[in-house]
Amino acid sequence: MRLMIEAALAAATALTAVLGPALQHPETRAAPALPIVVVAPGTFAFRSPGEYLKNGWPVDAPERTVTFQRGFEIMKDEVSAADYAACVADGACKASESGTASAALPVTGVSYRDAVAYAAWLSAKTGENWRLPTDEEWSFAAAERLHDDSLGLPQESGNPAARWLARYRAEAADDKRDTQPKPFGSFGTNSKGLADISGNVWEWTATCYTRAVVGNDGQVAHSTENCGVRVVAGRHRGYMSTFIRDGRSGGCAAGLAPDNLGFRLVREKLSLVGRMRLLAAEALQGWLG
Amino acid sequence: MLTRREALMGTVAGAATAALLTTMPEARAAAEPPSDISKLPREHVELVAPPFVHAHDQVAIGGPKVVQFHLTVKEQPMVIDDEGTTMQAMTYNGSIPAPMMVVHEGDYVELTLTNPETNQMLHNIDVHAATGGLGGAKLMDVNPGEQATFRFKATRAGAFVYHCAPAGMIPWHVVSGMNGALLVLPRDGVKDGDGRRLKYDRVFYIGESDFYIPRDAKGKFRKYASLGDAYADTLEVMRGLIPTHVVFNGKANALTGEHALKAKVGETVLIIHSEANRDTRPHLIGGHGDYVWEQGKFANPPEKDLETWFVRGGSACAALYTFRQPGVYAYVNHNLIEAAELGATAHIMVDGEWNDDLMAQVQAPIPIPTH
């Protein structure tokens, strides 16, 4: 606990000194008080992320039924710039590229590594277990906001450019062109109560990039996983190297990149130890005022 | 053949040469006696915004004519990237680059420049294709509330830059958006080096800009209330010679996504690429320059089969390419940092049938086989 006290004191001091009035609200000085959505158990049709080949040609990923036996808890909003700045002030996160510390805006300009560092910091701070959602969890929670990235083209076309052009057209048609991060709630709330799903912030997931070969039976025959690249979820799926903070820089020469990179976290159910750590953190919060 | 330029450069020295020069009129001027311009047919052309170009004949029909264009200066804030960075811009007709004008060699260009009263600055125009008068700038200074017209003969075929050139603040006006291109086509059309005619199905007009936007103490781009407010800080960034933005058609991603250029396999495009201020090096990823007039002037034979070509700051280049393969092409400034980080990337969506002879996927990526 000694380490936590030191960290919290340092955070409080640093925030006041460095970031000024914008961050002096008590919410940001201690562990953020976050609206959580409980996603109920259920079943949905899930199209796997990654690239799939059949008989040597790119095809739509196979769709499969995914069941969540238990529900899970996920942040209603993306992590705010202010909450992320608190982690930066604690020395546990690298400053985001966005440069803002607003409590009303999602943090953007953050990499997968930054998101993982924030989850670790938040977990230590709260005594809870926070982590990035998997692409499956994110897609299930996205509900009607989930974009099916299948192209429905005739398969095994002899024209390798056909899928490429179709993907480009689909993403271009969906391109809203306003890449400025918007205040929470600007993109509305979905049927499960999550805000701003598929707005102009793409969200990091824990899921690794996969390339797979599908047999004639539709089953994955073999696959290669590259965990140096993770799935970013949003209006359309993206695949980004874990250190990329600005999708437009990290994208390819002839495709369309995510507008912004941010994230929201899933809270694992608390263990007994976790509960005790949370109580201690709350006591600390009270002491700091 | 001895030309005036070679002689003055000293490649042929001596008094005899100097004497010869005084008696030898410039070949081009001698070939065409002065016309009675008032009797020539007149044509008024409505300009269209880039990346498109007004309809024109690739081969001139009939004799020379007077072609009238009208440019109106618009001073206006313009967003130059996806982050909403706003520049206090100065433009001809509201676009960056300014609209392309197309005429034929031997035509007379009659250009009217209007500077509405609502503007703050004096403006003019220097057309690189024009001879004398600082390219027209000397005759065309217009204050807010004024309008002027001048005429020049298009004596040389090629793609040329035009830009604003007011005394004392030329570069600021140019890098704030006041530049465009004039295309002077040979009367009998564009040709390869062996005199065979080359035709194109469409023109892509790419105007590359280098912008210099001041930042605040936190490193964020500053936004100014007026041109005058922006001037001093902008000049300081300009003097550093490192642009904050290098973009095609006035804005990062102006020619990608929904605004991507479009062509079909088998179509030939003439790409006119102008940069009024700074050197650049266009490259078509997955394609080539079939015929490239790197310096933009059609009296010189085109270079063939280029991978990357060089556009000198203050010039426009012409490149002809026939698409042979479908896909999404990226047309970039091949300083790839400028292309990817500063904005100089355009996309061309090309539909059509794949040519397996030119390229085929022999084995799609699979796990490395183990033997």
B365 contact A CB<8A: yes
Q: What is the mean pLDDT of residues B211-221?
A: 94
d(CA B6, CA B12): 7
Across the range A192-205, mean pLDDT stands at: 96
Q: What average pLDDT does chain A have? A: 83
Which is the catalytic residue, given B164, B210, B244, B245? B164
Per-residue confidence band for A269, with pLDDT thresholds at 50, 70 and 90: confident
Nearest to B271 by CA among B239, B242, B246, B249: B249
**pLDDT score at B161:** 98
Percent over 70 (pLDDT), chain A? 79
Q: Is B201 a catalytic residue?
A: no
**A178: nearest CA partner in chain B:** B82
Name the more confident of A24 and B142. Answer: B142
- For residue A8, pLDDT over 80 is answered with no
B332 lies within 8 A of chain A by CB: yes
Residues 232-261 of A with CB under 8 A from B: 248-249, 253-256, 259
Tell me how far apart the alpha carbons of residues B288 and B290 are, in angstroms, rounded to a whole number.
6
pLDDT digits (tens, 9 = 90+) for A24-64: 343 444 455 689 999 999 999 999 999 898 887 888 898 99
Interface check A273 vs B, CB under 8 A: no
Tens of pLDDT along B109-125?
Answer: 999 999 999 999 999 99
For chain A, say whether B219 makes contact (Cβ under 8 Å). yes
pLDDT tens-digit series, residues A215-230: 888 888 888 899 999 9
| The pLDDT value given to residue A254 | 56
**Is there a catalytic annotation at residue B288?**
no
B28-33: average pLDDT:
53
Residues of chain B found within 8 Å of residue A177, distances taken between Cβ atoms: 82, 257-258
Q: Is the minimum CB–CB distance between B347 and chain A shorter than 8 Å?
A: yes
A193: confidence class by pLDDT, cuts 50, 70, 90: very high
Task: Find the largest Cα–Cα distance for chain A.
Answer: 69
ipTM: 0.79
The 10s digit of each residue's pLDDT in B171-186 is 999 999 999 999 999 9
CB of A154 less than 8 A from some CB of B:
no
Q: Do A241 and A261 touch, CB atoms closer than 8 A? A: no
Among B345, B366, B370, pick the best mutation site for testing chain A contact (most A Cβ within 10 A): B366
Beta strands B345-351 and B261-264, pairing class = parallel
| Segment 107-136 of chain A within 8 Å of chain B by CB | none
- The CATH topology of domain B204-351 is Immunoglobulin-like (2.60.40)
Contact B367 A224 (CB under 8 A): yes
Q: Label residue B102 by pLDDT band (50, 70, 90).
A: very high
B123 counts as catalytic:
yes
Residue-level pLDDT at B177: 98
Please indicate if any CB of chain B lies within 8 Å of the CB of A21.
Answer: no
The whole-chain average pLDDT of chain B stands at 91
Measured between beta carbons, which residues in chain B are less than 8 angstroms from residue A161?
A: 325-328, 350, 354
Measured in residues, chain A has a length of 289
Which residue type occupies A115? A
The conformation of residue B153, written as its DSSP 8-state character, comes to: E
Is B331 in the A-facing interface, judged by CB distances under 8 Å?
Answer: no
- Contact list in B for residue A168 (CB cut-off 8 A) is 260, 328, 347, 349
Task: Tell me how close the Cα of B292 comes to any Cα of chain A, in angstroms.
Answer: 23
- Nearest-CA neighbor of B174 among B71, B89, B51, B76? B89
Residue whose C-alpha is closest to residue B93's, from B169, B33, B164: B164
Q: For the stretch B173-195, what's the b/e string if a residue is b when 16 or more beta carbons lie within 10 angstroms of its beta carbon?
A: bbbbbbbbbbbbbbbebbeeeee
Q: Do domains B4-186 and B204-351 have the same CATH topology?
A: yes
Residues A160, B354: C-beta atoms closer than 8 Å: yes
Q: Check residue A33 and give its pLDDT.
A: 65
Domain extents for chain B?
4-186, 204-351
Neighbours of A93 (CB within 10 A): 23
Q: pLDDT tens for residues B153-169?
A: 999 999 999 999 998 89
Mean pLDDT of B17-36: 50
Pair of tokens at residue B270: 């003439």
Interface residue B84 vs chain A (CB under 8 A) = yes
Please give the pLDDT value at position A270.
Answer: 65
In contact, B256 and B345? CB cutoff 8 Å? yes
Share of chain B above pLDDT 70, in %: 91
Residue-level pLDDT at A280: 76
Q: Could you tell me which chain A residue has the CA closest to the CA of B363?
A: A56
- CB contacts of A164 in chain B (<8 Å) are 327-328
Q: Which of A99, A161, A162 sits opposite B220 (nearest CB)?
A: A99
The model's pLDDT over A230-267, given as tens digits with 9 standing for 90+, comes to 999 998 899 999 999 988 764 455 567 888 999 999 99
Q: Does domain B4-186 bear CATH number 2.60.40.420? A: yes
Q: Give how far Cα A246 sits from Cα of A89, A107, A203, B203, Å.
A: 22, 12, 12, 33
Segment B219-225 shows an average pLDDT of: 94
Per-residue confidence band for B34, with pLDDT thresholds at 50, 70 and 90: low
Please determine, for residue B148, whether its predicted confidence score (pLDDT) is greater than 60. yes
Q: CA A33, A38, A44 angle in degrees (round to 5)?
A: 145
Which member of B78, B100, B121, B178 is catalytic? B178
Q: Between residues B29 and B79, which one has the greater pLDDT?
A: B79
Which residues 6+ apart lie within 8 Å of A138 measured at CB?
A203, A205, A233
